[in-house]
Structures are given as C-alpha cells and as structure tokens.
Amino acid sequence: MREAFHDQLDGIFIDLSGMCRLVEEEVREATSALLTGDAATAERVISADRAVDAAREKIEDTCFQVLSLQQPVAGDLRMLVSALRMVSEVERMGDLSVHVAKIARLRTPDVAVPLQVRPTVEQMAIVAQDMVSRVCQIISERDIEAAVELGRDDEEMDQLRRRSFAELLGDEWNHGVEAAVDIALLGRYYERIADHAVSVANRVVYTVTGELRGRRED
C-alpha cells in the first residue's frame, strides 16, 4: 500500500517535469515568433497553452486525491504542498510565454524588437529558456545543488533587465513610445519567467530538505 502511495508521489513529479517541458517549448516558440514576426508560430504558442492548463488540472486533481485519501504527514505532506505551489508557478511561466507571443502577433508582419535592442532581448530569451530547461531537470531529479546554482545565476537576467532600461532611456532611442512599451513589457515577461523558475527550484529544495529559501512575489 505504501509503495503504491509513493509511486503516486513520484508520478506527480514526473507529470510536473513533463508540464515544465511543455512550457520550455512555449518559451522557445514564443521567442522565435517574436524575433521573426511569424504570426503562425505566435498563434501556435497561444493555442498550445491549453495543454499546459490541462496538465495543471491533472496534477492538482492527483494531489487533492492523495491528500483526501492518504492523509499524508511530514515529508509526504511537504511534497504534496510543494507540488501544488510549483504547478502554479510552472503554469505562470507558460502564461508569460503567451504574453510574449501576443506581442509578436500584434506587430506582425513587422518584428516587435528593434535592431538596437535585439541583442539584449535575444540574450534575455536565451537565459529564460535555459533556466526553464534546467528547472525541468531539477524537478525530475530533485537535484538540490542544481537548484541552488540556478538561484545564483538569476543575477544575469537582472543585469539584462537593467541594460534594456538603459537602452530605452538612452539618447539613441528613436523607435517611439509603442516600441518602448513593447520592450519594457518583454523585459518584464522574461524576467518573471526566470523568477518563477528560481521559485520552483527553491520549492524543490524545500521538498527534499524542509528548508524554505527566499522567493520573489509578482
């Protein structure tokens, strides 16, 4: 009986990792749409978010079922509570990817990112996608060292965000208010994807060790 129970718990984390992989693809595709002005790719990202929502519902249903039928305590309860928090964070990363795709769609057939800030936005996207990919692995393996390292690496995203603001406010900016708003929002979206990835990693640390590391709020 206990073996089946722990198989259920492991299955929740397998499903979480799979959901995270869906979000990783959303980030990749949304960025592609953004940098190419591809409306079809943007639409695909927006439509694919239904699969992420469905994955969240499945994981939540499983967690609530285990809570009601098994009445877990101690470490098992901590794992379930953490999973419920993590699934919300992962879904939010997917929602942010949809926001990126919607900016891409809004500006097609033009590209929303001016050449002047393209290197910064591209690097923000690379960092965000890398952090999502790594947190998927952290969830799957419950890798504490990798989780702690991910939190340290978030500083690169913060630096890129500051750079994007400097570019928007610099004397060389001549792309108008509309483009400035787009870039400010995109910077926020990628930054929040990274923040949610760190928060999920911290929850993995809590699941394994009981130590709740600091997290950022929306």
> For the chain, which residues make up each domain, given as ranges?
2-209
| Tokens coding 105 | 């769609």
pLDDT score of 51 more than 90: yes
Q: Return the H-helix or E-strand segment holding 99.
A: helix 74-107
| Tokens coding 205 | 């640390």
pLDDT, residue 42, reads 97
Cβ distance 87 to 194 under 8 Å?
A: no
pLDDT, residue 1, reads 52
Confidence grade of residue 147 (pLDDT, cut at 50, 70, 90): very high
| Tokens coding 73 | 């305590």
Question: What's the CA gap between 192 and 89, in Å, rounded?
Answer: 10
Confidence grade of residue 70 (pLDDT, cut at 50, 70, 90): confident
- CA-nearest of 195, 120, 131 to 161 is 120
Confidence grade of residue 217 (pLDDT, cut at 50, 70, 90): very low
Within 13 A of 211's CA, how many CA atoms are on the CB side? 8
pLDDT, residue 3, reads 66
Q: Residue range 176-199: average pLDDT?
A: 95
CATH of domain 2-209: 1.20.58.220
Q: Residue range 120-135: average pLDDT?
A: 96
pLDDT score of 112 more than 50: yes
Q: Which of 24-33, 38-47, 96-105, 167-176 has the lowest mean pLDDT?
A: 167-176
Torsion of CA 92, 25, 99, 16, to 10 degrees: -10
Residues in the chain: 218
pLDDT, residue 71, reads 74
Cβ distance 78 to 206 under 8 Å?
A: yes
